[in-house]
Chain A
């Protein structure tokens, strides 16, 4: 189902925007998590966790879902395909896993934010959970950089399915690379 150039550029813009936005939102979330864990200022810490709850629900989650959706649209609507190239497959797997982990972290984040609403919230309150938020967001940030790098470098490698599709395309004479077009005089 190839997309025409206009919608293709739009889908690409949406995908790049949401993917990079996701990375940026997680970086901001990590900064809040570190501040909340290490700050001696109880008000700042409480504010950080309240902000983290809002950030994850209204920024990170929508961006993640949009990145997955637009990525699938990009895969299905362009010659890259969804399963033909290893870099696309790995990107898809990483993005889906990261989204699943994100959904699993929503409740723990809400719990900490709920505790932060209490004026008795102190440095030792839910210390393990707060440390876990730093670890998860830091690890998530590193993981999310991998699809970004793959998107830029696009390392070579066709899957078995991709080689089959390529063989089929070359025998039917369709899907030739623009580089193989004859040069007109």
Chain B
């Protein structure tokens, strides 16, 4: 006698007349798109994070002009 249990590893028939995108896929895509927009917005609007407006929080960065002292070029006193 044939085993009538459905095989969980094999797809069951999705039906012949089911064109178009299922509603759950549309909801998924909308939610995913919304999350992506929020994520991108927080990257650029957020307080630091990954954006280019991030300032060194540890104070490790030194400004371009250092306190090493004099940067004037050496004066050539001539022969």
Contacts and interface: CB of A to CB of B under 8 A. Distances in A.
Interface of A: 8, 12, 78-80, 84-86, 90, 124-128, 132, 154-158, 162-163, 166, 177-181, 183-184
B57 interface: yes
A178 B7 contact: yes
A119 to B, nearest CB: 15
B14 A166 contact: yes
B3 to A, nearest CB: 8
A90 B10 contact: no
A155 B24 contact: yes
Contacts of A181: 2
B28 A80 contact: no
Contacts of B21: 86, 157
Chain B interface main SS type: loop
Interface of B: 1-2, 4, 6-7, 9-15, 18-19, 21-22, 24-25, 28, 48-50, 54, 57-58
Contact of A184 (B2, B7, B15, B58): B2
Task: State the 3 A-B residue pairs at the shortest beta-carbon distance, nearest first.
Answer: A157-B22, A158-B14, A86-B25
B18 to A, nearest CB: 7
27 contacts: A80-B11, A85-B14, A90-B28, A124-B57, A125-B58, A128-B48, A128-B54, A132-B49, A132-B50, A154-B11, A155-B22, A155-B24, A156-B18, A157-B22, A157-B24, A158-B14, A158-B18, A163-B19, A166-B14, A177-B13, A178-B7, A178-B10, A179-B12, A179-B13, A181-B2, A183-B4, A184-B1
Contacts of B1: 183-184
Contact of B9 (A8, A125, A183): A8
A126 B57 contact: yes
Contacts of B6: 178-179
Nearest to B5: A178
Contacts of A8: 9
Contacts of A80: 11
Contact of A183 (B2, B11, B58): B2
Given A155-B24, A177-B11, A127 B57 contact: yes
A19 B21 CA distance: 27
Given A128-B49, A155-B24, A177 B2 contact: no
Contacts of A177: 10-13
